[in-house]
Structure 1
């Protein structure tokens, strides 16, 4: 192992995805010297291929978003919205038990309130970050359209919409004529939908992330290519050993390594039940369909998003860990459904992709200090909401590192809640 530098960095961030670079941007903006460590680059992995939504209205825990009701049918379909490879099921069982427990009324209410508070601040922080980084032109404010094939499907969604209404989230339910006005060309079985005007998307999530990084870099942030494999306390500092033998010494450490984060938290006394939702998508040419806004096919677990780089058809959940090879049949199954639901969709010329979403059983991220190290901070586990909550996570970590009182109560997001 190479000897660490005698001049430690101020704040080292392990992870160059959207959470890591928004945290770096927040810290650099107040003069903290920040080093991002990532094995691939800035927004080159999971943050490159997400659906591009700023889903500020998406406050319902996954355990309550129809997942419990649909779980048996989904699991019976190996290419459906949720799958668990049989060989992985024994490893997943403890996480699933916690996931089911999160659907209990008291836990659901606590998670809902915490997520709603997080989302209110998230919207404000994204507006501030886009203004600071001159990326406002990348924001699209077209709303989203959640679609239902049957009246029963629509009726089943109403409890969730009532919960959102309690937190001031605006929406309106549509009949077929209302759907046609907002998105022509859908299959006739979609007779009901819900329009959410406050739902936003970005022109391309990777382009946005790289633009934010350019501002962070201009403010003094830096990054190096490397994979952190061991982190250890070192006389009030943290030593970060990279796979290539280099060692970085830091006064403060932020773990923002997405689905790999729990491998590093054990060094500081935190065993976090982080699981990997492997998500798939296909990005089609931009002229593949006249798409007006993001479409959400919730009963089928996927969305269709208009990006400047194409039309992205993606979603689904494969709880399969970090080691299994991708199963792109899942992407093709979603694409075939999209073709049926959008009959004019041209499905040729697409680019397939798979990424790793870091998911916790209660659908809340981990944001807070390590159990055994006051100078180690965690920022991971955002599931489907990493892009949505990146700016606010950066703000909250900046507050913690700087000794300021966070704007919201971080107890629901504590690493020690498990």
Structure 2
């Protein structure tokens, strides 16, 4: 018979920022927590993100007008949005839901749900940073979204008005000179900008993950390398994790936070969720490659420039299997654009990276109990906002497993919202 461990209080599946935040929050409540990761801590999207806590990013990727732009992007294999042809059949449920979510009638509810989760995350960030001993890694430099010409700015105005309606503060900058006062060194082609002053960031996402892992271990938590392949309820109402090694792990409760690799396990727990691997690319240069004063976002080009473990140029959306080979040409296209937009950029000897963001078609994560295994909480699908929403997700998961009502209504994040088309 395969070996079976003595039961733990909570087993957390996934060593990205969501899994680590949940494990740390539960360990802080004196729970015996085991975190299992198939690869290594931060091996997915969590270590290579832009390092921002993007509280103003309340707009879903699926929004009115996006489908008119998508065909043009999809024809360019190196454009800001691409789908690998071999992946199209598997992505059909995701694409159908994406089309539905982009309808104008869906936008108010999606924006309200995203804004509520981001507000909770802003409230919970000091708490999780203190648990990790990571306050010293945090800064608040703001974010600058840049537009080329009046027409591009006016096209973006509804998005900025939606942020204003949700109480998000920002400043409008008009003219290259006004922009240069805040961020010198940009091409004068950028004539309009929105500046979000409340845009915290972390100096290096991987350093934050390591601090969280150390704090978790310091509270008695265990981190082990296992590829969890099966989930099942136990006779006593807990959860059994079956591993590729043959090991079986018994837990009174469990959290599924395996990022882009969560869908198969969620299905075993009764939830067929249209999860896609939204692959992002970046290149990280030395910190002195450019005098960056705040995060720069180029929304019409699908990438950002940030200070995250150096000077990081990254973004784009590629929908493909998480195991498909990386196409590093996509990272190089972004660097070429950055050279044009930041003429003084010294883009030399960069480190290229690709990671799979766990993306759901309406841009909201799944945070709920599994219907078939009530002792299991699902916590995945955060897309571009994993780092940003990790504090809120950890707070909600800790409340659910502790028998407490969450601080915000979690109905919009239920996996049941996908049942009609799956």
1:394-413 pair list within 5 angstroms: 394-413=394-413
Partner of 1:49: 48
The 2-side partners of 1:371 and 1:43 are apart by 28
Unpaired runs of 5+ residues, structure 2, are none
SS of residue in 2 equivalent to 1:43: coil
1:280–1:352 contact (8 Å) kept in structure 2: yes
| Structure-2 separation of matches of 1:121 and 1:322 | 30
The more displaced of 93-102 and 251-260 is: 93-102
Give the match's secondary structure for 1:287.
helix
Where 2:229 maps in the other structure, the secondary structure is strand
Structure 2 equivalent of residue 184 of structure 1: 184
Offset at residue 280 of structure 1 (A): 0.4
C-alpha separation between the residues in 2 aligned to 1:290 and 1:137? 21
Secondary structure at the aligned position of 2:78 is classed as coil
Provide the C-alpha distance between the structure 2 equivalents of 1:203 and 1:258, rounded to a whole number of angstroms: 23
2:273 paired residue number: 272
**What is the aligned partner in structure 2 of residue 251 from structure 1?**
252
- 1:194-209 equivalent positions in 2, closer than 5 A: 194-209=194-209
In 2, the alpha carbon distance for the partners of 1:379 and 1:54 equals 18
Matched, 1:61 2:84: no
Relative to the length of structure 1, the TM-score reads 0.97
Q: Deviations over 1:244-281 (max 9, x none)?
A: 22111111111000001011011121101101101100
Hey, what does 1:317 align to over in structure 2? 317
Q: Is the 8 A contact 1:12 1:253 kept in 2?
A: yes
8 Å contact from structure 2 (residues 369, 375) kept in 1:
yes
Indicate conservation of the 8 Å contact 1:370/1:377, yes or no. Answer: yes
Equivalent in the alignment of 2:162? 163
Aligned 8 A contact 1:277 1:356 in 2: yes
TM-score (ref. length: structure 2): 0.96
61-70 or 198-207: which moved more?
61-70
Identify the residue that residue 94 of structure 1 maps to in structure 2. 93
**Paired positions, count:** 416
Contact kept in structure 2, 1:150 and 1:189, CA below 8 Å: yes
Alignment of 1:131-170 (within 5 A): 131-170=130-169
The answer to whether residue 302 in structure 2 is matched with residue 301 in structure 1 is yes
1: CA distance, partners of 2:264 / 2:49: 23
Deviation at 1:393, TM superposition (A): 0.3
Q: Is the 8 A contact 2:63 2:104 kept in 1?
A: no
Q: Is 1:123 aligned with 2:108?
A: no
Structure 1 partner of 2:105: 106
Do the aligned partners of residues 148 and 69 (structure 1) sit closer, same or farther apart at CA in structure 2, a change above 3 Å counting?
A: farther
**Residues 193-221 of structure 1, C-alpha deviations (whole Å, 9 max, x = no match):** 11000112110011011112222221121
| Deviation of the 1:239 alpha carbon | 1.6
Preserved CA contact (<8 Å) 1:4 1:239: no
> Bigger shift: 24-33 or 208-217?
208-217
Counterpart in the other structure of 1:384: 384
Q: CA RMSD in A?
A: 1.3
Deviations 1:307-356 (A, max 9, x none): 3x311100000001223100000000001000011111111100000000
CA distance in 2, matches of 1:204, 1:52: 6
Deviations 1:225-252 (A, max 9, x none): 1111111222122221111221111111
Mark the CA change 1:20 to 1:3 in structure 2 (over 3 Å): closer, same or farther.
same
Q: Does the CA contact (< 8 Å) of 2:255 and 2:378 recur in 1?
A: yes
Equivalence map 1:284-295=2 (5 Å): 284-295=285-296
| CA offsets 1:143-188 (integer angstroms, 9 cap, x no match) | 0000011211111110000011011100111022221011111111
Shift of 1:87: 2.0
Residue 93 of structure 1 deviates from its aligned partner by: 2.3
Contact kept in structure 2, 1:228 and 1:241, CA below 8 Å: yes
CA shift at 1:66, angstroms?
6.2
Give the superposition deviation at 1:69.
4.4
